[in-house]
Structure formats: structure tokens, C-alpha cells
């Protein structure tokens, strides 16, 4: 009998990327989407470095890059005076990633690329017009029920991955609450067709943040248009098309032609699900965390989930790890969403509204640390070993952590190196090594089990 598939509910960016991750590890899966087509809504527009690393691992980076606009500088400008603060130069990341830049690409251009890769590699794995209505768990799996145009359908799977977005049916049926706040403020997004490069040249970075106490603005050059994001105060009515137009002209000045492609008004949230796992069911992406869409941390944080869970499921399926490895998913990703991306996005919102002069989570050369890295153990300065080292930072791609003096044990299928020593690949058994100060690095799949160490560092 063939192995039951891992059921993924929701073909948004997180469900699609998770499917590619499961394919990468040769795990059976079936992906179910309520709608007849992928979403055409105007949502995320910027994709960060770590997401590109995930796409590379899952074999779609080149296809994505071919359709995207590369951005090497992120502008930070005081709107009232036009005074530019030091911009973020993404080349700072050259030592850390193959992709020392971010890209601008609308979410509805990205999703078809991911879908095409799934359909090429696993024909028939994507099931549109399948709305999950309920599910139940057994000792060995999950049975999910879907409404389809041909009636009710039951599917038996080994796990259920809920990538069904912010209003997750799975999360609500599990009775899992989301903790945090939804400020009154809303955000206006306007996509505009206007030539600010040649016919009406302007010197804006292709991704720029204009801070202002009364009306901040984010400018994102998309491959096919210019995108403007503004706050909309509580109680204010949504602007008319004429008002949108007037707002934009006020900002860019007179232009020869300007066409509004679409507008959207959305609530912002800073909320994280209390639990991310219930036995064989996992919450991922917006189902697990709703993050203020500032600094492109919504979709991109969801992709971090899609980096973390597939390899864990593969390790358990292959018998290389016990079920406990799956608990590491929430242990690793929840703080990234709540304290990394979530706090950073909230701080960014305040910074943009000039409610604060600085953003601790994103300053100077440390700006890249906040979103995708977190300390792996307690402070090294004291030299005290972390009592229960939260040292499960492995990613499906590279990882690196700065370790001040340590004994680490791990499993890996690629060489590891630290402090000038190279350790051979070890799989499935674990290996232990002690070394003094250095970077423990892997260029492939790896899981760290324990780090009895005093260490500082960041998972990347
Ligand atoms: C205006 C706006 C701008 C944004 N800008 C950015 C940005 O610049 N950068 C960034 O990183 N993020 C941004 N975000 C956030 C980003 O869009 C989301 O974080 C991202 O879409 C989450 O992906 P997801 O796959 O988890 O969920 P979703 O994209 O919501 O996908 C969920 C999918 O599940 C399906 N589904 C739901 N219920 C069921 C069911 N019962 N059965 C079957 N299928 C179901 C839905 O139809 C949908 O296709 C923005 C969001 C908005 C609204």
C-alpha cells in the first residue's frame, strides 16, 4: 500500500513553497486549495534574501529571479524635508548569502511560478476547488474532509499542514487562539502605472521608506508598476479614486500619464497563534502568525516556516529522528514570528510614523539580524552554558552560528566545519565535537541536537 500523503491545506505562497519542500525531500503530499485559481489579490511585493535561499534549495530561484526586479539599496527618507538617512546597502550581506539583495515582485506573479514547478514535478498533486470543511486525527494520521464540485471527499493523510491563511479553518476548528493586537490603523495600497524612470525621471530607490508623523509612505517599484503604501487613520473613509490620484501627484509631482491599476485597504495585525502543533496538525504561514506588513515580513516569515517543517518531517519519516524533532518547528519558528518579525514590523510602523527616532531591531549593519536570526543560546560573556540549549537551529539550507566555546552534537549529510576543523558528514547517527571559538557551518541538510555551550549567534 502506498504511503499516505502529507495533506497541505491552502495554495498560497506558504502552501506552495511547503509543497516544493516536501517534494525536495521526496515525501508524498497532496495540496488542496479552496479557490478555482490562485489568488490575484494585490498583496506582498518584496521578497527577502532568506526566502530566495529557500527557493534555491527547492529549485525555483532562477525562475523567480527571471521575473523580478533586483533591489540593492533600501531608501530611508524624511518625507517633510526630503532628507535621506543612510540607506540600507544589501551588499552588507555578501558574506552571508548567495543573494545579497532583495527582489520586488508581486505575490500574484510569484505564486504561478511555484505552482508551475509543483505541476511539473508532481502532476496531479494540486487539487483546486477543494475546501477543507473538517478533519479528525487518529493515532496514525489525519482524515480531512473537503467540499468539491463533485461532492464531499475524504482524504487520509499522515499529517495535515494548515497553510490556509489568516482566517484558518484548521486553527479555528482546533480552538487555538491568536494572541496579540490589531491596531485601529489600516494601510492603503495603490498600484500605479506611471513612468518614473524615463518619461518623468525621479531619483527614488526602488524600495524606499518615507517617514512622516502625519502620513508616512512606502514606495515599491514593481516590475509592472509603482506601488504606494500609506496609513489610513482609524475612522477615516477610504479615499476615492480622485483622492488617490491627488495623493500620488502630490508626492511625485506632475507626470505625463498616470493610471491607477488597483487599490486595496487592509487591517494590520500583530498576532501569533498560541499553539502551532496539535499532534499531527501544524499551523504555518498566516495561519500561525499575522504580521504587520512592514518591511516585507508577512509572506517572508511564512516561508521561514516552509524551510523549517519539511526537513523535520523527512528526518522523522526516514527514522533519523524521533517525533520530538517536530516540536522544534514551533520552538524555532514561533519566536522568529513573535519576537523577530512581529516586533520588528511593529517597531518599523512606529518609526515610519515618527513615533520613535530609531529602530533597535534594525540599526546600522545589524539590520539583517532581526528577521531571520535569533540567539541560539544564552549570553556568552558570562561563560555560562545554557541549561537547556534551544539549539535546534538547523535549516534546510545553510546555517551558521557563532560559538564561543562549545561541545555540539549533530546529524548532517554534508561536511561540517568549525574553528579550522572539518567534520565528515554523519547520518543518521549523531556526532559530537568540541572546539573553542569559531563558526560551526554546514552547506547542506543538518540538524543540531544539543549544544552544551556558551554561545552567541544567530540562526540564519
Ligand atoms: C495588502 C497586503 C500587502 C502585503 N505585503 C507584503 C509584503 O510586501 N511582503 C510580505 O512578506 N508580506 C506581505 N503581505 C502578507 C502576505 O500577503 C501574507 O503573509 C501571505 O499571503 C501569507 O501566505 P499564506 O500562504 O500563509 O496565506 P494566504 O496567502 O492567505 O493563502 C491561504 C490559501 O488558503 C486557501 N484556503 C483558505 N481556507 C481554505 C480551506 N478551508 N480549504 C482550502 N483552502 C483554503 C485560500 O484560498 C488561500 O489560497 C501583505 C498582505 C497584504 C494583505
pLDDT confidence of residue 398 = 31
Strand order in the sheet with 131-137: 131-137, 142-148, 151-157
Mean pLDDT by 10 residues, the chain (460 residues): 91 98 98 95 89 96 96 85 82 87 94 98 98 95 98 98 97 96 85 92 86 85 93 87 89 90 87 96 96 78 95 95 94 84 64 61 40 31 26 32 44 54 52 47 48 34
Separation of CA 35 from chain center: 22
b/e burial code for range 382-420 (CB count within 10 A of at least 16 → b): eeebbeebbbbbbbbbbbbbebbbbebbbbbeeebebee
Instruction: Using most ligand atoms within 8 A of CB, pick from 7, 10, 284 the residue to mutate for ligand 1.
Output: 10
Q: Which atom of ligand 1 is nearest to the CA of 42?
A: 1
Instruction: Using most ligand atoms within 8 A of CB, pick from 36, 111, 299 the residue to mutate for ligand 1.
Output: 299
Rounded Cα distance, 112 and 324, in Å: 35
Of 203, 197, 200, the residue nearest 223 (C-alpha): 197
**Region of residue 364 (left: phi > 0; alpha: psi -120 to 50; beta: else):** left
Please, what is the Cα angle at 16 between 342 and 54, to 5 degrees?
Answer: 65
Rounded Cα distance, 446 and 399, in Å: 9
Number of helices followed by number of strands (H, E) in the chain: 10, 28
Supply the DSSP symbol for 159: -
Instruction: Kindly give the pairing relationship between strand 426-435 and strand 270-273.
Output: unpaired
Measured by CA distance, the residue closest to atom 27 of ligand 1 is 165
Rounded Cα distance, 360 and 364, in Å: 10
Cα first-last separation, the chain? 39
Q: Phi first, then psi: give them for residue 18, nearest 5 degrees.
A: -60, -40
pLDDT confidence of residue 418 = 56
Rounded Cα distance, 143 and 423, in Å: 43
| Cβ partners under 8 Å of residue 301, min gap 6 | 289, 291, 336, 337, 340, 341, 371
- Give me ligand 1 centre to Cα 1, in Å: 35
Residues with CB under 6 A from ligand 1: 9-15, 32-35, 39, 43-46, 107, 131-132, 163-165, 169, 189, 264, 266, 285-286, 293, 296-300, 302
SS3 category, 53: helix
Query: Which residues share a beta bridge with 142?
Result: 137, 157
Q: Which atom of ligand 1 is nearest to the CA of 286?
A: 26
Measured by CA distance, the residue closest to atom 3 of ligand 1 is 43
pLDDT confidence of residue 187 = 87
pLDDT confidence of residue 60 = 98
pLDDT confidence of residue 268 = 81
DSSP 180-210: EE--S-EEEEEEEE--TTTTS-----SEEEE
Measured by CA distance, the residue closest to atom 18 of ligand 1 is 299
- Give me ligand 1 centre to Cα 12, in Å: 6
What is the 3-class SS of 125-149, one letter each residue? CEECCCEEEEEEECCCCEEEEEEEC
- Give me ligand 1 centre to Cα 176, in Å: 19
Measured by CA distance, the residue closest to atom 8 of ligand 1 is 44
Q: Which atom of ligand 1 is nearest to the CA of 10?
A: 34
pLDDT confidence of residue 214 = 79
CB 204 within 8 A of CB 75: yes
- Give me ligand 1 centre to Cα 290, in Å: 10
- Give me ligand 1 centre to Cα 299, in Å: 7
Amino acid at each position: 500500500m502506498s504511503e499516505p500523503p502529507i495533506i497541505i491545506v491552502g495554495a498560497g505562497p506558504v502552501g506552495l513553497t511547503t509543497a516544493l519542500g516536501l517534494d525536495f525531500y521526496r515525501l508524498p503530499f497532496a495540496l488542496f486549495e479552496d479557490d478555482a485559481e490562485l489568488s490575484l489579490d494585490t498583496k506582498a511585493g518584496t521578497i527577502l534574501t532568506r526566502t530566495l535561499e529557500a527557493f534555491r534549495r527547492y529549485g525555483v530561484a532562477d525562475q523567480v529571479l527571471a521575473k523580478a526586479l533586483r533591489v540593492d539599496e533600501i531608501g530611508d527618507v524624511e518625507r517633510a524635508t526630503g532628507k535621506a538617512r543612510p540607506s540600507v546597502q544589501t551588499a552588507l550581506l555578501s558574506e552571508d548569502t548567495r543573494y545579497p539583495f532583495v527582489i520586488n515582485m508581486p505575490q500574484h506573479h510569484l505564486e504561478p511560478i511555484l505552482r508551475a514547478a509543483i505541476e511539473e514535478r508532481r502532476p496531479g498533486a494540486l487539487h483546486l476547488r477543494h475546501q477543507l470543511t473538517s478533519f479528525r486525527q487518529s493515532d496514525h494520521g489525519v482524515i480531512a474532509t473537503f467540499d468539491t464540485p463533485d461532492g464531499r471527499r475524504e482524504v487520509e493523510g499522515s499529517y495535515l499542514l494548515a497553510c490556509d491563511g489568516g482566517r484558518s479553518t484548521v486553527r479555528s476548528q482546533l480552538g487555538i487562539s491568536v494572541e496579540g493586537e490589531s491596531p485601529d490603523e489600516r494601510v492603503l495600497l495603490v498600484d500605479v502605472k506611471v513612468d518614473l524612470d524615463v518619461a518623468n525621471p525621479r531619483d527614488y530607490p526602488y524600495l524606499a521608506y518615507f517617514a512622516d508623523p502625519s502620513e508616512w509612505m512606502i514606495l515599491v517599484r514593481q516590475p509592472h508598476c509603482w506601488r504606494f503604501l500609506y496609513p489610513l487613520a482609524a475612522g477615516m473613509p477610504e479615499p476615492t479614486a480622485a483622492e488617490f490620484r491627488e495623493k500620488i501627484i502630490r508626492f511625485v509631482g506632475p507626470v505625463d500619464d498616470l493610471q491607477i491599476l488597483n487599490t486595496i485597504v487592509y487591517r494590520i495585525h500583530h498576532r501569533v497563534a498560541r499553539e502551532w502543533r496539535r499532534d499531527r496538525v501544524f499551523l504555518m504561514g498566516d495561519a500561525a502568525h499575522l504580521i504587520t506588513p512592514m518591511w516585507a515580513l508577512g509572506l517572508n516569515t511564512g516561508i521561514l516556516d516552509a524551510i523549517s517543517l519539511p526537513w523535520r518531517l523527512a528526518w522523522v519519516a526516514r527514522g533519523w529522528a524521533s517525533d520530538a524533532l517536530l516540536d522544534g518547528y514551533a520552538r524555532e519558528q514561533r519566536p522568529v514570528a513573535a519576537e523577530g518579525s512581529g516586533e520588528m514590523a511593529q517597531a518599523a510602523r512606529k518609526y515610519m510614523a515618527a513615533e520613535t527616532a530609531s529602530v533597535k531591531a534594525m540599526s546600522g549593519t545589524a539590520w539583517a539580524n532581526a528577521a531571520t536570526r535569533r540567539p541560539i543560546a544564552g549570553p556568552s560573556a558570562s561563560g555560562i552554558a545554557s541549561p537547556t540549549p534551544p539549539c535546534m537551529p538547523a535549516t534546510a539550507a545553510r546555517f551558521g552560528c557563532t560559538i564561543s566555546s562549545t561541545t555540539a552534537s549533530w546529524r548532517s549529510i554534508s561536511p561540517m566545519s568549525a574553528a579550522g576543523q572539518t567534520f565528515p558528514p554523519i547520518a543518521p547517527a549523531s556526532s559530537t565535537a568540541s572546539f573553542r571559538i569559531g563558526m560551526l557551518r554546514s552547506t547542506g541538510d543538518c540538524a543540531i541536537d544539543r549544544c552544551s555551550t556558551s554561545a552567541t549567534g544567530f540562526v540564519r
